[in-house]
Amino acid sequence: MDWPDSELAHYAAMLTVKDVAAVLRLSPDRVRGLLVHPRPDVRLPGVKIGSWRVPRSDLRDYLLAHHTTRTPANPSLRGADD
């Protein structure tokens, strides 16, 4: 099983905000912000039925669309000569 399917395999068909936060390694507040983001290209697809739910298939597509192999700059990893 390949990524992201391996990450999502043990979740239900509809994930809670807490579930999505765990997958994305974000706070639940940040996930809620993505669910209502004004830019459609950034917005996380979800439905609000009492509370927010994100279809696992939509989260999978979101992960694939927003995946990057770039490593963020981390000053603590730079050598003394940099």
Q: Is the pTM of this model over 0.85?
A: no
By the 8 A CB rule, do 57 and 67 touch?
no
For 61-79, letters b (16+ CB in 10 Å) and e give ebbeeeeeeeeeeeeeeee
Which residue in 54, 49, 48, 47 sits closest to 21, CA to CA?
54
Give the confidence band of 79 by pLDDT, cuts at 50, 70, 90: very low
**What pLDDT is recorded for position 23?**
94
**What pLDDT is recorded for position 3?**
82
**What pLDDT is recorded for position 71?**
56
Torsion sign, CA atoms 69, 73, 74, 80: positive
Condensed to tens digits (0 to 9), the pLDDT of residues 22-77 reads 999 999 999 999 999 999 999 999 999 899 999 999 999 999 998 876 555 555 54
